[in-house]
Amino acid sequence: MTELQKVLIPREELRRRVQELGAEISRDYEGQELILIGILKGAAVFMADLMREITFPVGIDFMAVSSYGNAATTSGAVIIRKDIDTDIRGKHILLVEDLIDTGLTLKHLKEHFLNSGALSVRICTILNKPSRRLADVEVEYSGIEIPDEFVVGYGLDYAEQYRNLPEVWVVATE
């Protein structure tokens, strides 16, 4: 059984931080060809908000991945469940994530896109749990650092529930 415990990050704080990230990305990539790639399903909400804070035309695409085995044993190798349709060769890629935990998924995806001919690959996440990091991966655009608690809302789920909550909540999992 799960129970929503408390709001960790209210809507207004999410909104403000997404605006700041959008402004920073707009400055950094001005005059360049940029593709945002959202990692489904969790990043869908953040992606929709972030893209509207970018001040020049960007390409967007989505992919869905799952990891081999369980989190404790995974090497970070991922299975691509849904791939992008965009030709990313010679383009700047920004991977958009909901939350970086161990960092294993994103480390693998970064290498995957660099090997596929992207000009550059950076990572943007709205939530970050640095205390949980296992992989050595640089997160160039990190939204809000949170403690090691299980959270839902703003795209994040527990057993496919709660993704539509507009705030980030802590849940008690039993």
Tell me if the bond preceding 110 is cis, omega within 30° of 0: no
Residue 146: CB atoms within 10 Å: 18
User: 86: burial class by Cβ within 10 Å (0-12, 13-18, 19+)?
Assistant: middle
Q: How far is the CB of 56 from ligand IMP (least distance, A)?
A: 27
Q: Of the two residues 9 and 29, which places its CB atom closer to ligand IMP in the complex?
A: 9
105 binds ligand IMP (CB under 6 A): yes
Residues across the chain: 174
Dist CA 108 CA 39 (whole Å): 13
153 binds Mg ion (CB under 5 A): no
Dist CA 107 CA 169 (whole Å): 26
151 binds ligand IMP (CB under 6 A): yes
Q: Is 10 helix (H, G, I), strand (E, B) or coil?
A: coil
Q: How far is the CB of 101 from Mg ion (least distance, A)?
A: 9
Say if CB 65 and CB 41 are below 8 A apart.
Answer: no
Applying CB under 6 A, which part among 4-12, 81-89, 113-121, 145-153 lies near ligand IMP?
A: 145-153
Applying CB under 6 A, which part among 8-16, 18-26, 27-35, 97-105 lies near ligand IMP?
A: 97-105
101 in active site:
yes
Kindly tell me which residue out of 58, 99, 109, 126 binds ligand IMP, with binding defined by CB under 6 A.
99
Per-position x/- string for 12-51, each x denoting binding to ligand IMP as judged by CB under 6 A, each - no binding:
------------------------------x---------
DSSP letter for 132, please.
G
Residue 108: CB atoms within 10 Å: 18
CA pseudo-torsion sign 49, 50, 53, 54:
negative
Q: Which of the following is catalytic: 28, 49, 98, 101? A: 101
Which of Mg ion, ligand IMP, none does residue 68 bind to, with CB < 5 to 8 Å depending on kind? none
State the residues that interact with ligand IMP by CB under 6 A.
42, 97-105, 150-152, 156
Active site residues per annotation = 101
Q: Which residues bind Mg ion (CB under 5 A)?
A: 42
